[in-house]
Amino acid sequence: MIDNGLLVQMLIGALLGVSVYLPLAAGQLSLATPAFYAVGGTLAALLSTSWPALGAGPDGSLPLASFLLVLLLGGLLAGGLALLVGRLVLRLQGIYLAIATIALVEIVRVAILNLPFTGGAIGIFGIPQPFPTAAGYLLPALGLLALAGWVCQRLEVMPLGRAMAAVRNDELAAGCMGIDTTRVKLTVFVLSAVLAGSTGALAAHFLNTWNARQGSFDTAVTMLAFVILGGSRSWLGPVVGGLLLTALPELLRPVGDGRLVLFALVILLGPVLFPQGLITPALLERLGRLGERAVASDQRPSGEGRP
């Protein structure tokens, strides 16, 4: 049974999938999303529980304006960290970049675990809630996902998006044609971090607790699976992958302990049965043609074609 709480978790998974997709759209295998996710969530938890100016009430409530401010600050902090780190790690490519970003994930996790004001292994509890029920989080999560999708869609027709595609296809050739490949990779890396940081701030309030385990290597593997299963050639692929893989463990709960085995089989067999993911350019092209035919048939005069 899919309830409001599970729907919010599915939307968070979709957002994180898009965050992983953005560097991949420029040919960069970055697994740093959990680090930025953890940074945004930690900042949100600290500000909401320790900063009186946000107006948290004694009953655990939080004004909506303060919640939106925390989302913005979480994204900005994660983006600033990405700007600093990206200048170093983006000199690497392929598996070496993946290893460097995994190291970043572990550095952030250990830092959050050992800082005196982040609660250590226990974490931060009692984060103020801007909504009385889980259903209230659906609108901001949907709004954030819609904004991320709009940005990804606009990138496809913008010079930056075309430069990302050129770098993904052949970085050396793109550089020879005058494209500033370093700027392109850094820009998309920062965009990915901003989205992950804001998603972490949203998740921290939704979960009501936050600790270092939220941004771990296991999380990085799960997020990468969102993109692999859904498809990496369109932003819709990670959205579908994030929705499905987040919901699947809960939908398989009636199976009992075997649900983890079935979940692992889905991740294992998904790339085998769908090498390009569930959402492929060919599928989107077919859907586009069907949509055009439907529109054309609706616009055709009712008497046309009759003898």
Q: Sorting pLDDT into bands at 50, 70 and 90, what band is 302? A: low
For the chain, give the percent of residues with pLDDT over 70.
Answer: 96
Walk me through the domains of the chain, giving residue ranges and CATH numbers.
4-299 (1.10.3470)
The tokens describing 3, both together, are 């309830």
Q: How far apart are the first and last CA of the chain?
A: 53
Q: Sorting pLDDT into bands at 50, 70 and 90, what band is 306? A: very low
Residue type at 213 in one-letter notation: R
Span 174-185, average pLDDT? 91
pTM assigned to the model: 0.90
Q: What is the pLDDT of residue 163?
A: 93
Span 149-170, average pLDDT? 91
The tokens describing 12, both together, are 């968070």
Span 216-239, average pLDDT? 90
Q: Sorting pLDDT into bands at 50, 70 and 90, what band is 261? A: confident
The tokens describing 121, both together, are 């292994």
Distance CA 116, CA 232 (A): 39
Distance CA 190, CA 175 (A): 20
Q: Is the pLDDT of residue 258 over 80?
A: no
In sequence order, the 6+-apart residues with CB closer than 8 A to the CB of 144 are 15, 71, 195, 198, 199, 202
- Helices 64-89/33-50 angle, 10° precision: 140
The tokens describing 32, both together, are 């740093």
The tokens describing 260, both together, are 């983890």
The secondary element (H helix, E strand) that includes residue 49 is: helix 33-50
In sequence order, the 6+-apart residues with CB closer than 8 A to the CB of 128 are 48, 49, 54, 56, 57, 60, 61, 62, 205
Length of the chain in residues, anyone?
Answer: 307
Q: What is the pLDDT of residue 303?
A: 52
